[in-house]
Chain A
């Protein structure tokens, strides 16, 4: 919870773990987009989510990593596989999709545009980064969380206490999603 505990000296150069995780994520993302077979795309997408979860853990966002691993790598993959089992799957000879040049050009243009903004982004973990150092939001929550809510996990305090009404809305949205699935599939019972 303290500033000194979090903002440890940041290595200017990318570490080997970081580089391999980033390469893994990029490669699985490309494979997801290019795989001809839907089943292969779903499985590679699960691997991509697992890589993202490891990357979030590496960047010290364990709450996000847990959500990514449970929801994206686990539940979403299972639900997509179930959906594939209920539909038809065409066998392909080719492993990869043919690249659609206009789409690839648009994606490359967007990628280049986003790359241009990279110079202004502060280094990862930098204590001078506005998202970390500003006294009105981040530092206020970090110093006030324990005093006001008596819990150590600031993320949970923001979700359940400071933004509790928003979280209630989100929970109701999840509940409504289940009801909507019942209606769409013309069912009256879940199980």
Chain B
């Protein structure tokens, strides 16, 4: 397999042969470059070549998502809010609502969806859900009961047990699940941060070419997120 790229120089290897065999290309590049640079480079170019157009405006996908997304989101809300009387609950409903965001990202582009759905929203969902769940659990403790002892919840008029459970599902579990799933999606779409601290510094980010797709947005998001 590596015979056909033996005599080509590095540029030919990366442009022509990267798509069909980067295993052979990286093995050949060992003679020219140190091994810790050769493998990522050839793999990187192959990945770029396939991802040259990571997003295309499809006239089929966009209208479909426009029509389906409101219904899917409403279904997610129903599953979340109606978990006490029908199958479902916060976990399933939160996952469906996060899947709606994935759908929008596939139709209208991940980066524009990332800008539309700010990092603050994702973090607020995940952290707020965890704090709300813990808060609902700790209120009965403060009133002298056990953790999550719903009948001690100070809910007027309504049934504290039923609406305490609903509260856990709606403002606790569903935001955590949807927030974390959206966060994982955006994190995976951006990928590994080679400029960060730690073990990624020396091996991957040496030539600076690894992060060119996400570095600008990342800087903007970092600036916005830190303040």
Q: Taking beta carbons and an 8 Å cutoff, which residues of A are in contact with B?
A: 62-63, 65-67, 70-71, 74-75, 78-79, 82-83, 85-91, 148-153, 155-157, 159-161, 164-165, 167-168, 171-172, 174-175, 177-178, 181-182, 185-191
Contact = CB atoms under 8 A, between A and B. Distances in A.
B10 to A, nearest CB: 17
B169 A186 contact: no
A166 B98 CA distance: 23
A191 B114 contact: yes
Interface in B177-227: 177, 179-198, 200, 221-222, 224-226
Interface of B: 19-23, 43, 46-47, 50-51, 54, 79, 83-89, 91-92, 95-96, 98-99, 102, 106, 114, 117-119, 121-123, 126-127, 129-130, 133-134, 137, 147-148, 150, 159, 161-162, 165, 168-169, 172-173, 176-177, 179-198, 200, 221-222, 224-226
A159 B89 CA distance: 10
16 contacts: A74-B102, A82-B188, A88-B22, A90-B23, A91-B20, A151-B85, A151-B165, A152-B86, A153-B89, A161-B161, A175-B180, A177-B184, A178-B179, A185-B192, A189-B224, A189-B225
Contacts of A186: 192-198, 200
Contacts of B23: 90
B85 A174 contact: no
A175 B126 contact: yes
B29 to A, nearest CB: 14
Contacts of B165: 149, 151, 156-157, 160-161
B21 A191 contact: no
A8 B48 CA distance: 57
Contacts of B181: 75
B92 A67 contact: yes
